[in-house]
Amino acid sequence: MALLAQRLKAIQDLTKKEPIASVGQLNPKVDEIFEEDVFGDAQIKAKLHRSTYEHFRKSLDTGAPLSREVADQIATAMKDWAISKGATHFTHWFQPLNGLTAEKHDSFINFVGSTYNRSLNMNFSGGQLIQGEPDASSFPSGGIRSTFEARGYTAWDMSSPSFIRSSPQGKWLVIPTAFCSWTGEALDLKTPLLKSNEAISRSTVRLLNLIRKDNKTTSAASSLGVEQEFFCIDRGFFEARPDLQMTGRTLLGAKPARGQEMDDHYFGHMDKRILSFIQDCEWSLWKLGVPVTTRHNEVAPSQYEIAPIFENISVASDHNLLTMQVLIDKAKEHGLAVLFHEKPFEGVNGSGKHHNWSIGTNTGENMIDPGHSPLENVQFLLFLAATIRSVSLFGDLLRVSIASPANDFRLGANEAPPAIISVYVGDLLAKVIDELTTQDAEEKGVDPNAVPRGPSHLQLGVTALPAIPKDQSDRNRTSSFAFTGNKFEFRAAGSSASPARSSMVINTIVAESIETICDEIEASLNKGEELSSILHSVVVKTLKEHKRAVFNGNGYTQEWVEEAARRGLPNLRSAPDAIKELLAEKNIQLFERMKVLSRTELTAHQTIYYEEYVKTINIEARCLHNIVVTSVLPAALEYKKTLKDALDVDIPVQAEYLKNMNDLITKLLEHSNQLKSSVQDAEEKFDDEQLHEHSIFMRDVILNKAMVNVRSVCDQLEEIVDNKLWPVAKYSEILYRK
C-alpha cells in the first residue's frame, strides 16, 4: 500500500478504535496476582526440602557454587511448576552487547525407548538450568570472537528470579542468565553489572568495618529504580511511517501549529485508549513480579512515563527490559505503537530513563541517607565524598555509558541534562560542603550549628492545608547526577538504553572511590592517628579536591559550559567524542582494579559503541533517501503540475509561488543526491581500523549536514503541498489523534 493510502487509512480507522478491557476489570486484587508467574523465593522455599533451600540461599548470599544434586532438585521443582502453569519450553534469557535481550527456546520434551516403543516425558536437569550453549558467532563481540568461533555459554543468574512469559499459542519459562565466550570474556551487559555490584559490596563492607568495626554488615548492594519514558501513538500512523519502523524516529516532518508550548500535557488527564493500554501492561507486569507503581503523562504530546519501586540493581535492570517488551507487545494488542527512541519527533521533548541509585546493606541500611543532621553523619559524608570524587574523576565514563546518536539529540537541548556530567547536591548539602571545605575547617573543626538540622516544614498559608515536610534538596532537572534526599538520580541515560550499561559504570566508579578512601583511612590508622580525626580529614580532603564536580545552578546555560571548562570538567558533546575516552589509561586501570572489565573487554565495548553509531546513521540516511525519492518527490512533482495548470504566471505573486515550488524541488534533488553520494563515500573511505574517523564522518557529513539539508526542504514542502497529496503522516496527526 502506498504511503498516502496508509496515511489516509490510519486517519479513517481511528473512528473505529475503542479502549480494550484489561485483566484488572476482571480481577481487581493486585495482591492475588502479584508474582503469579514468578518462580521466586516463596516458590523455591515451598517446593524444596529445607536443607536444599538453605543450600540455595547460601549460594545466593555468598556466591558459593551449587552442588549438582541441589541444582537438579531446583530444576525439577522449577520445571514442574512451569508445566503446571502451562509452559512447554524454557529459555536462557540474556543481554548481548547490543543492549537488547536474546533468547532461544527449547522444549521440556524428551523421548525414552526405541522408535517403535518409546514414551514421552518432560525433562529439565540441573545442568540445563545452570548452563546453556547458544551460538555466540552472530552477536556483537567487538572483535573478541571471530565468526567461526561460535561457542558461547549462558550461566544462570540466581539473583534474578525466573518467570513465565506467554503468547496466545503457549507459555515458556524464562531463566535470566549471563553470557560469556568459550575463553571466559563477558559477551553481555549483565556480567559486568553483577561484577560491579560485587565491587560495591566489597568496598562498602570494608569501609563500614573500618569506621565502626561492624560485624553485622556482611554484604551490600546497589538498588535501582528506573523511570521509563516513551511515546505511544496509534499503530496506523506508525505503519504509515517507514522511518519510524526502520529507525525509531521521524526523519522528516514539519512542526505542527501546536507543540508542547501550552504546558498542558504533563500530568494531564490520560487519554482513555492510552490509560487502558497502560493498565493492561501493569496487570501483566505485576504478575511477572515487576513492582510498577507510577504512571503519568510526560511533557510532550503522546509522551508517557511509568516507574517501579526500587529493587536490587540486577533485578531492576532485568525488570526494566521486561517492562519495555511488555509495553511493545501490549501496544500491538491495543492497536498502538510504543516508541523508545530518545528523540522520535523533532521540536518536542525526547525521552529518557532516569536511574534512581543508592547503596543498601544486608541489614537494611541506606548508605545514601543523610539522616536529620547530615553534617554530623560521618558515614553519609564519606559516601557522599566518594560519589562526588567518582564523578569528578570519571565523568567521562558516565558520558560514554549513555553515548548514542539518538541520545545526542536530547543532551543539553533544554529538555535533558547537558553532556557535562556534574553533581547537584541541593542547598543544604552545599552548605555542609562549604562549611567543611573552608580554608581553616581542618584546623578549627566544624560548627554543627552553622548548618540547618532536621527536616523543616513548608507553611502553605492556607488553613485547610497542612504544613508539609520540606526535602533536603530541590529537584534540579538540568543536573545529570542529582542527590534527591536518600539517593542519586542519573538523568542523562536515554530511554532505549539498557540500564545495565550506566548502572555498571556508576557502581564501578563509586566502588573505586570508596576503596581509595579506605586505603587513606588504613594508612592513617597504621600511623597511630585517632579514627574520628582521620575520618574528618579524609572527608574534607576528598571534598576539597573534587568539589569541582558539584554544581547547583542551571546546566542549560552557556555560563555553565564556560565555568565547567574552567573547572576542567569534560564536555563531550557527541557520542564519538565520548566513545574515544573509554580506553583512556585511567579508565582501563579503574575497571581492571575493580575486576569488572578487562582491557580486552573494554576494547570490545568501544568497538561496539562505534559500530552501533555508524550503522545507526547509515540506516537512517538510506531510509530518508528512499522516502524522498519514492514518496516525497513524486508528491511534490504532482503538486507542481497542478500549480502549473492552475496559476497565472503573468501575475507576479502567482509566478513567484510556482518559482518557489520549482526551487524547492531542485534543492531536494540536489540534497538527496548529495546524501546518497555521502553514504557511498563513507562506505568506500573507511575500513574496520578507522572506526573513530568513520563515526566523525557520519556525524559531521551525513547526520548533521546532508540529512539536515534534505529534511529542511522536505519540511518546507510539507507546509505547501496539497494535504490530499502529501504521502507521509504528519506530526499533527501522529501526536494528537488517538
Query: pLDDT confidence of 444, banded at 50, 70, 90?
Result: very low
pLDDT the model gives residue 376? 65
Instruction: Residue 340: count other Cβ atoms within 10 Å of its Cβ.
Output: 20
Question: Which of these ranges, 38-47, 537-546, 710-719, has the smallest mean pLDDT?
Answer: 38-47
pLDDT at 478: 81
The answer to whether the CB of 485 falls within 8 A of the CB of 471 is: yes
Residue 137 confidence (pLDDT)? 60
Q: Is residue 239 part of a domain?
A: yes
Specify the range with the lowest mean pLDDT, choosing from 123-132, 185-194, 244-253, 534-543.
Answer: 123-132
Q: Are residues 593 and 620 in the same domain?
A: no
Helix, coil or strand: residue 292: strand
Structural domain boundaries enclosing 61: 34-188
User: Where is pLDDT greater, at 394 or 1?
Assistant: 394
Residue 727 confidence class, pLDDT cut points 50, 70, 90: very high
Please give the average per-residue pLDDT across 704-716, as a whole number: 98
Q: Note whether 587 and 618 are same-domain residues.
A: no
- The dihedral through the CA atoms of 144, 147, 151, 154 has a sign that is positive
Q: Is the pTM of this model over 0.85?
A: yes
23 within domain boundaries: no
Q: Is residue 707 part of a domain?
A: yes
Q: Which of 330-344, 438-452, 612-626, 669-683 has the lowest mean pLDDT?
A: 438-452
Q: Residue 448 pLDDT > 60, yes or no?
A: no
Query: What is the pLDDT confidence band of residue 651, given thresholds at 50, 70 and 90?
Result: very high
501: pLDDT strictly greater than 90:
yes
Count the domains in the chain. Answer: 3
Q: CB neighbours (10 Å) of residue 185?
A: 18
In the predicted model, what is the mean pLDDT of residues 177-182? 87
CA–CA gap between residue 94 and residue 175 (Å, rounded): 9
Among the ranges given (420-429, 458-467, 489-498), the one the predictor scored with the smallest mean pLDDT: 458-467
Residue 123 neighbours by CB distance under 10 Å: 15
Q: Give me the pLDDT at residue 128, please.
A: 86
**Residue 360 pLDDT:** 96
Residues 210 and 176 in one domain: no
Within-domain flag for 19: no
Is residue 570 one of the residues assigned to a domain?
yes
Among candidate residues 141, 169, 188, the one where a domain is terminated: 188
What is the predicted pLDDT for the residue at 85?
95
| DSSP collapsed to 3 states, 12-46 | HHHHHCCCCCCHHHCCCCHHHHCCCCEECHHHHHH
Q: Which residues of 70-101 are buried (b: 16+ CB within 10 A; e: fewer)?
A: bbbbbbbbbbebbeeeebbbbbbbbbbbebeb
Q: What is the CATH number of the domain that holds 664?
A: 1.20.120.1560
Q: Which residue has the higher pLDDT, 83 or 131?
A: 83
Residue 474 lies in a domain: yes
pLDDT tens digits, 591-640: 999 999 999 999 999 999 999 999 999 999 999 999 999 999 999 999 99
- Assign 468 a pLDDT band (cuts: 50, 70, 90): very low
Give the 3-state secondary structure of residue 117. strand
Q: Give residue 5's pLDDT.
A: 87
Asked whether residue 579 falls in the same domain as residue 659, the answer is no
Average pLDDT for 339-347: 96
Specify the pLDDT at position 511: 99
The predicted pLDDT at position 688 comes to 83
Distance CA 582, CA 657 (A): 53
> Coil, helix or strand for 457?
strand
Q: Could you give the CA distance from residue 615 to residue 621 in angstroms, rounded to a whole number?
A: 10
Q: Are strands 162-167 and 311-312 parallel, antiparallel or unpaired?
A: unpaired
Which carries the bigger pLDDT value, residue 488 or residue 460? 488
**pLDDT > 70: what percent of the chain?**
90
Mean pLDDT of the chain: 89
562 and 506 in a common domain: yes
Do 118 and 50 share a domain, yes or no? yes
CB proximity list for 598: less than 8 A, separation 6 or greater: 185, 591, 592
pLDDT at residue 631 in the model: 97
Residue 303 has a pLDDT of 96
pLDDT, position 520? 97
**Helical segments of 568-598, H only:** 575-580, 585-593
Whether residue 29 lies inside any domain: the answer is no
Check: CB of residue 424 under 8 Å from CB of residue 370. no
The whole-angstrom separation of Cα 695 and Cα 98 is: 17
Domain-embedded: residue 208: yes
688 and 625 in a common domain:
yes
Residues 493 and 629 in one domain: no
Q: What is the CATH number of the domain that holds 82?
A: 3.10.20.70
Query: 366-381 pLDDT, tens per residue?
Result: 999 988 776 568 999 9
- The whole-number pLDDT of residue 227 equals 97
pLDDT of residue 547: 95
Q: Are residues 327 and 207 in the same domain?
A: yes
The DSSP result for 493-505, as a single string, is -BTTS-HHHHHHH
Domain boundary among 567, 597, 627: 597
CATH of the domain at 323: 3.30.590.10
Where does a domain end: 168, 188, 208?
188
Q: Give pLDDT, residue 653.
A: 94
Same domain, 286 and 432: yes
- What pLDDT score does 150 carry? 53
- Angle of helix 652-685 versus helix 633-646 axis, rounded to 10: 160
Residues 646, 556 share a domain: no
Q: Are 282 and 655 in contact (CB under 8 A)?
A: no
Q: Mark whether 181 and 249 lie in a shared domain.
A: no
CB 40 within 8 A of CB 289: yes
Q: Bigger pLDDT: 262 or 93?
A: 93
pLDDT at 159: 92
Q: Is it the case that residue 656 has pLDDT exceeding 70?
A: yes
Which of these ranges, 4-13, 506-515, 648-657, has the smallest mean pLDDT?
4-13
Can you give the pLDDT at residue 460?
Answer: 43
